[in-house]
Amino acid sequence: MAKKLYIGGLSYNTTDEALKEAFSQVGAVSSAKVITDRMSGRSRGFGFVEMESDDDAAKAIEMWNGKELDGRRLTVNEARPLTDQRPPRREFSR
């Protein structure tokens, strides 16, 4: 079963492909996505990697958490599901 990992502390230069390649060293990667800002298209400094097995996900956390990629120290842990605990964004009228 696939397991999604949160990857924090990414360099603004890290691409989806570079992220996938790095985590492929541990095991099979289903997907890798660097989250970007909608307006500027620039990386927001975090992303998600989906590993094909739980064992590979555990190995990826062990291998990459606290290690450097593209000159930045990563935070890697199991992704939590999105919840509705954040307040809704306010619409500003002009």
Domain residue ranges in the chain: 3-78
Q: What stretches in the chain show pLDDT beneath 70?
A: 1, 83-94
- Residue 41, Cβ density class (10 Å: 0-12 exposed, 13-18 middle, ≥19 buried): exposed
- The upper half-sphere exposure of residue 81, i.e. CA atoms within 13 Å in the direction of its Cβ, equals 2
- The pTM of the full predicted model, rounded to 2 decimals, is 0.82
pLDDT of residue 2: 81
Q: Which two tokens stand for residue 88?
A: 């809704």
Q: Which residues pair with residue 46 across a beta bridge?
A: 8
* 3-78 CATH, one of 3.40.1180.10, 3.50.50.60, 3.30.365.10, 3.30.70.330: 3.30.70.330
